[in-house]
Chain A
Amino acid sequence: MTAHFAWTRRHILKTSVAGAAAALTAGRATSSLAAPALVKGSKLTYWGGLIFSDKANKLLVDTINKWGADNGIQTEVVMINQNETVQKVSAAVASNTLPDALDLSLDLLMLLSRQGVFHTVDEIFDSLGKAQGGWFPAIASASDTSKVAGGRTGIPYGVSGNLLLRRNDLLSKAGFKNPPTTWEELSQQAAAINKPPLYGLGLALSNVGDGNVQVGVLQSYGGRIADDTGTKAAIKSEATREYLKWVKAAWDKKLFPPGNTTWDGAGDNNAYLAGQAAFIANTGSVGIAAKSQDPELYQATLYSSLPGGPKGVVSATNTNLRAIPKSSKNPDAARALLEFLGSPEFMNAYYEQAIYGPVLQGQSKLKAFTSGDPILSGLLDLVVKGTAPAYPDVYNTAFADAYNNFVVPKMVQRVVIDNWDFDRAMDEAQTVTQSIYDKYK
């Protein structure tokens, strides 16, 4: 019932996206905080993050261009493929060709803020917070750059993270009405319906972002990347051993689809869309893809939060933010734009098309999150219950380096691919991690 309702609502919205963009700008034109400082005829370049939803991308571009037209500012919006943001931004920082404002992930914002690349935007952060019921505390604290940049440099606009997608058609037939709440339970449910070419556990164990879901699993078993000081590697532990036992057992039962140790970012999606995986951990893009390509599969899919381990649920959220580089030639207009893009009208329309969870408490009452869309409800849930990046580890550059070097998926691959014993695999991971942490002493 719910899904059907969402389906029709989406349908109607499809046609009204363009209209919404126009209506939005018209309604907000007068109430902008920084409006007086805008120079007519000045230029503004914006790099938006290109995401899976074409409609969300188009809405962002249209809205910014409409805002520019209303304020007499020449806007150029370029959508940057998120897969290439790191190279693009790296090259742009080095060659001093950053735009006037851009979308980026918390990782990159933190790193660049440390180098003083961005203006502080505390006043926008405060005014948006005041107007919309305050920021979610976890997001406010995770995105706080005051210590490294003398103020906040990013305005959060969306939270992404992983939901557990499951094939309800198969699972309910096998008697599993409720989503698994622990990783052990997940394995049990997966094993019960595992029947190649359908595999139970569509989790990536490869050297890509999806493989790092395993960091959260490790941490939910009580394992850690480093100690509380954030300087000493602490991978080798009894908790890690317990975690490895879980992976190894699932591997030996052949619950993972073949190829999952070399999947690229699309591996789990492809497996799920191909009907080869009963469970996957995904940001929700698969749901959207299934909705248009395979409605039957979409109907059979249910969403829940990631399971937990003996130490509870660790489900890291990643915050996406907007920032203004110091090299901007039009910082006032950029500030006005950021303020404008934080408006509930735009954000509601955007959230309905994109796959982000809310950042402001007031946003949870937006129609996007209250109308029962299973993916968006799941994302709201994630924002409320999810954990800060790296938690319970200390989030610092050394952690980010270890994370981006895939130390945990690589350790798992040593066990399942190379048949190393747990001690040897943990020893190697421990040494590698320590040498990464040593670089940041």
Chain B
Amino acid sequence: MAGSPSISRRLLFARIGTYVALACAVLLVLFPIYWMVITSLKLPREIYRVPSLWPQTITWNNYRILLEDKGFLVALRNSLLVAGSVTFISVVISSLAAYSLARFRYRFRGFVGRLILFAYLTPTTLLFIPLSILMARLGLGNSLHGLILVYLTFSLPLSTWLLQGYFRGVPKELEEQGMIDGLTRFGALFRIVIPLSAPGIAAVAIFTFTGAWNELLLALVLITSESQRTTPLALNYLITSDVLPWGPLMAGAVISSLPLMILYFVAQRFMVQGMTAGSVKG
């Protein structure tokens, strides 16, 4: 805290400026979320006829409608199942691939890298008809298994890409030491590399989970039965013909965003660390 008063005053102003700027940014970021929440707490008539910046009467009716029928709880369970499975499978097999890409030099490595990137960049609008044909042939149409398989198309490339960067950050000497101590290659991967990459894996897992939790377009085409619907699909089904039930829709939006928002709050640190590895050292 030493220094001339003018410098400390400049520091103080800079600090205040920082807070003001951050407060403005947070306000802008939160405003749509705020709007979503208050709309979910309004009566239909209030939403349409007397728009206001805060609800005049708070009602939990929209949440009640949503949770009582529409199979919304089933959808939440399905989403949890799909997103959880995709995350698990994706993290496991992309860890293997990422380790291969990060540690070994071989002939088709460049090709594999390119394939991964191309896969990541192909528009879904181009893929959904052929994918639905493929799933039907495999007997996986209209099932959560099919959906899990399809979601790997976008989760694997990103996971592999981020993880290989992270694995590269683990000193090779540690593994070599481990192998001298009697570990196999697999042992070295699971006992040394993966534990050391925990933040990266956590970040990758969160990204994958988010992607699978939020996906709509492919679910729309592949899932038919009500019992197999995921949360975004169930929300989409609230919009029938030409009437938007804003109240229940926003209530559903709040419920479906909440788990992820909590996750982001808790795991914010891991995400930054994970990205550090993935994007910088990729």
Residues of A close to B243: CB separation below 8 A: 52, 266, 269, 285-286, 289
In the complex, the answer to whether A94 meets B241 with C-beta atoms within 8 Å is no
Q: Determine whether B57 belongs to the interface, using a CB cutoff of 8 Å to chain A.
A: no
In the complex, the answer to whether A274 meets B48 with C-beta atoms within 8 Å is yes
Q: How far is the CB of A346 from chain B (nearest CB, A)?
A: 21
Q: How far is the CB of A113 from chain B (nearest CB, A)?
A: 21
26 contacts between A and B (CB under 8 A): A47-B224, A52-B241, A76-B225, A78-B224, A81-B239, A83-B239, A84-B236, A88-B221, A88-B224, A90-B129, A91-B129, A95-B136, A96-B136, A209-B242, A266-B239, A266-B243, A269-B244, A274-B51, A275-B48, A275-B49, A282-B242, A283-B242, A285-B242, A285-B243, A293-B44, A294-B44
From A96, A266, A275, contact of B242 by CB (8 A):
A266
Residues of B close to A209: CB separation below 8 A: 242
Q: Determine whether B137 belongs to the interface, using a CB cutoff of 8 Å to chain A.
A: yes
Q: Determine whether B132 belongs to the interface, using a CB cutoff of 8 Å to chain A.
A: yes
- Interface residue ranges of B35-71 to A (CB < 8 Å): 44-45, 48-49, 51
Return the CB mask of B10-49 against A: 1 if under 8 Å, else 0. 0000000000000000000000000000000000110011
Q: Determine whether B141 belongs to the interface, using a CB cutoff of 8 Å to chain A.
A: yes
Nearest residue (CB) in B for A77 is B226
Given A269-B243, A293-B48, A294-B48: A91 and B226 within 8 A (CB)?
A: no
- Interface residue ranges of A370-416 to B (CB < 8 Å): none
Q: Determine whether B142 belongs to the interface, using a CB cutoff of 8 Å to chain A.
A: yes
Q: Determine whether A210 belongs to the interface, using a CB cutoff of 8 Å to chain B.
A: yes
Residues of A close to B44: CB separation below 8 A: 293-294
Q: Determine whether B128 belongs to the interface, using a CB cutoff of 8 Å to chain A.
A: yes
Listed in ascending order, the chain A residues whose CB lies under 8 Å from chain B are 47, 50-52, 76, 78-84, 87-88, 90-92, 94-97, 209-210, 265-266, 268-270, 273-275, 282-283, 285-286, 289, 293-294
16 further contact pairs, Cβ within 8 A, besides A82-B240, A269-B242: A52-B241, A52-B242, A81-B237, A87-B220, A91-B133, A91-B222, A94-B132, A94-B133, A95-B136, A95-B141, A97-B132, A265-B242, A269-B243, A274-B48, A293-B44, A294-B45
Residues of B close to A79: CB separation below 8 A: 226
Return the CB mask of B127-156 against A: 1 if under 8 Å, else 0. 011001101110001100000000000000
The 6 A-B pairs with the shortest beta carbon distances in the complex, nearest first, are A95-B136, A91-B132, A265-B242, A293-B44, A266-B244, A273-B48
A-B contact count (CB 8 A): 89
Q: In whole angstroms, what is the CA distance A76 to B241 when docked?
A: 22
In the complex, the answer to whether A52 meets B240 with C-beta atoms within 8 Å is yes
Q: How far is the CB of A441 from chain B (nearest CB, A)?
A: 26
Q: In whole angstroms, what is the CA distance A212 to B227 when docked?
A: 35
In the complex, the answer to whether A51 meets B241 with C-beta atoms within 8 Å is yes
From A88, A91, A270, contact of B48 by CB (8 A):
A270
Q: In whole angstroms, what is the CA distance A269 to B236 when docked?
A: 18
Q: In whole angstroms, what is the CA distance A209 to B241 when docked?
A: 11
- Interface residue ranges of B225-255 to A (CB < 8 Å): 225-226, 236-237, 239-244
In the complex, the answer to whether B49 meets A274 with C-beta atoms within 8 Å is yes
Q: In whole angstroms, what is the CA distance A79 to B236 when docked?
A: 13
Q: In whole angstroms, what is the CA distance A268 to B242 when docked?
A: 9
Nearest residue (CB) in B for A294 is B45
Residues of B close to A82: CB separation below 8 A: 240-241
